[in-house]
Amino acid sequence: MDVVVDDVARAAARAQSVLVGTPGYVEREERGERSASFTLRIPEASLDAVLDSLATLGSVANRTESAEDVTEQSIDLDARLQSLIATRDRLRKLHDSATTVAEVITVEHELARVQGEVDSLEGRLKYLRSSAALATVQLSIRRKIILGPLGVVAQAIGKLVAKLFVIR
């Protein structure tokens, strides 16, 4: 959502106060004199109310909504994780029955590799599940541009030139 306002600092403060009544939070924030941008994480149940509240900050220049279904990714990762866990368990049994130092070293090396993959997949699944629970809102707040006398003249000339070349 892109919002044009008169006072960026006040609008940014109001944007953060919108989240006070929800379990949402500000993930990233950048503020400048003429603009501010936020990445907000909001529960899906509160999304429409928060977006409507953010729209009251000023004039909405752009509002785009999209969704991504992560169900297939989650199912795929879950299946890969179960397979790796089974492999890890088999490697642990092999480790217990290893008789030579070379066998122990080989099994431990493979066990460490598989455990690393298990940890990685568990982290990815945790991230997918948390991102599915919370919507991500990219909010951009920018100050309204007020043209000076020469800006008004230049804009009028630009509109006149456009009418000379474009009929519709």
Same domain, 16 and 94: no
E strand intervals along 32-165:
35-43, 59-62, 134-143
Only one residue has tokens 């990815």, namely 124
Residue 71 has pLDDT above 80, yes or no: no
> 119 pLDDT band (50/70/90 cuts)?
very high
Q: How far apart are CA 123 and CA 56, in angstroms?
A: 38
Residue 128 has pLDDT above 90, yes or no: no
Same domain, 59 and 139: yes
Residue 126 has pLDDT above 90, yes or no: no
Q: How many domains does the chain contain in total?
A: 2
Q: How far apart are CA 38 and CA 26, in angstroms?
A: 7
Same domain, 161 and 112: no
Same domain, 34 and 10: yes
Nearest residue to 23 via CA among 119, 109, 126, 134: 134
* pLDDT at position 5: 93
| Residue that wins the pLDDT comparison between 69 and 16 | 16
| CA distance readout (Å), 110 to 79, 90, 93 | 20, 11, 13
Nearest residue to 121 via CA among 71, 75, 73, 78: 78
* pLDDT at position 20: 81
Same domain, 11 and 91: no
Provide the domain limits for residue 103: 71-131
Q: How far apart are CA 26 and CA 4, in angstroms?
A: 20
* pLDDT at position 16: 86
> 165 pLDDT band (50/70/90 cuts)?
confident
Q: What are phi and psi of 42, to 5 degrees?
A: -130, 135
pLDDT in tens, 19-50: 887 888 888 999 988 999 999 988 888 888 88
Same domain, 148 and 119: no
